[in-house]
Amino acid sequence: MRLFVSALAVLLFVGGVKAAHCADSSRTQFPLHVSANKRYLVDKAGKPFFLNGDSSWEIDWQLNRHETEMYLEKRRQQGFNAIAVDAIPYSEWSDHVAEKDREGNPPFLKPGDFATPNEAYFNRLGWLIKRAQEKGMLVLLIAADLGYAGLNKPQFNAHDGMWHAQYKANGPEKCYRYGRFLGQHFGKFKNILWLLGGDRDPGDVRPEVLAMARGLKETAPDQLKTYHAGSKSSGVFFQAEPWLDVNMSYGYRDTYLMLAEDYNRTPTKPVFLGESGYEGESNDQRGGTPLRVRRQAYWAVLAGAFGNMYGSCGWTFTTGWRDWLDSPGANQMKYFRNFFTSHKWYELKPDFDHRVLVGGYEEGTEMATAAATPDGDFTAVYMPSARTVTLDLAKLRHDLKIEWFNPVNGEIRPIAETLTGNYGPASFTPPEKALGADSDWVLFLVSSRQ
């Protein structure tokens, strides 16, 4: 039977979805560890952790403590529960080896020498991590950013803001000792996910990367670890490594493609979208609109990710960084988090073979993606542009409530008719495009038992 259901209904504004199965409704109890099925992370109390992070790479040395406190609190209020931070300066506008934090501390007593860490600098970084932990935020911490291999522009300094040359100059032994220092110095914190590497494939410094990972593993065995590669997944290089606890997916392809690859890697490891397009930037000439950052985030989760790292061009904390705190994309990430944590997101299985979403999914940047829980209690379909989609309801539960969710403003529009039977294919068309707004929508179906 083919059923067409119109989207006529009462408008219900929620500013974030009412929690039915809100896994993150209370403060995260760090530390995090990998779930039993190795698909996501859970906290100390066993609650699934949905990653909704902000890429704040240069915060540690660019901001003073007052500015840092203001930034963290703002992001907490916006629903972010993680930040990404470079442990030592990665600057494309000055000599990173000589860079100091706002209190005048360089990271190393001897510039560029990993064997001479400056306690004062790393104590200041520890303060940042502690404040983040007190606000319920995970810190994704890059030990020493290798830097983008293709960066070679005349306005940048001779070192290109990277630590690649210093990895080679220090060699495996000093990289190992630096890893041990980091683990010993920050091992007391429960809210760290280490990122080895940084925007670059391991390449000719693979021995140094492995040595640093070994030092961290020995001194901070319970802190999670991954690798930040160059526009590709950590799993491409280190899937079998025992120190790699989770995969970080990164690239400028449509994110449902990248995440599908990571979801299907063996051995199974949780994966999150670590980087793609930033709001306000266009590294791949495809634009940095709020629609793009929403699109890649929803795509990622429905393809198996346990969360997403948002980014904007405020990551450098140079002139104008405050203007990005209230950017549309940043504010819309709270709706993203609230939508998924209001349901059993951690049980979703991606509909890669279109058994549920059987029509209207299209291809490329217009691709609609779907995922459903095995028990059929929750199904979600994200479409980056409005169109009619067809679902095979025979694959889902009886007694489904069907609603539209607007990722731009967090509103819900219930569909007037509730389905109370095991129907076959059914078609759904979202509400008309709002004046001046984007036309992406989420169609979701939940059991009336919830």
pLDDT of residue 22: 42
Which residue ranges form the domains of the chain, and what is each CATH number? 3-12+349-447 (2.60.40), 24-341 (3.20.20.80)
Percentage of residues of the chain with pLDDT beyond 90: 78
Q: Assess whether pLDDT exceeds 50 at residue 16.
A: no
Q: Assess whether pLDDT exceeds 80 at residue 56.
A: yes
Q: Assess whether pLDDT exceeds 60 at residue 7.
A: no
pLDDT of residue 239: 98
Residue 283 to residue 288: CA distance in whole angstroms: 9
Average pLDDT, the chain: 89
Residue 257 to residue 25: CA distance in whole angstroms: 30
Mean pLDDT of 314-336: 95
Q: What letter does residue 88 receive in the DSSP assignment?
A: S
Task: Name which residue leads in pLDDT, 157 or 404.
Answer: 404
At residue 374, what is the residue type? P
Task: Name which residue leads in pLDDT, 146 or 27.
Answer: 146
Mode of pairing for the β-strands spanning 12-13 and 411-414:
antiparallel
Retrieve residue 317's tokens: 């904390």
Comparing CA positions, the residue from 140, 124, 273, 248 lying closest to residue 194 is 140
Comparing CA positions, the residue from 150, 178, 145 lying closest to residue 164 is 145
* Interval 296-314: pLDDT, tens: 999 999 999 999 999 999 9
Q: Assess whether pLDDT exceeds 70 at residue 174.
A: yes
Cα-to-chain-centroid distance, residue 44: 21
* Interval 175-227: pLDDT, tens: 999 999 999 999 999 999 999 999 999 999 999 999 999 999 999 999 999 99
Cβ(140)–Cβ(83) below 8 Å: yes
Q: Where are the alpha helices (DSSP H) in 13-135?
A: 59-62, 65-77, 119-134
Within 10 A of 393 (CB to CB), how many other CB atoms are there? Answer: 23
Mean pLDDT check: name the lowest of 17-31, 285-299, 317-331: 17-31
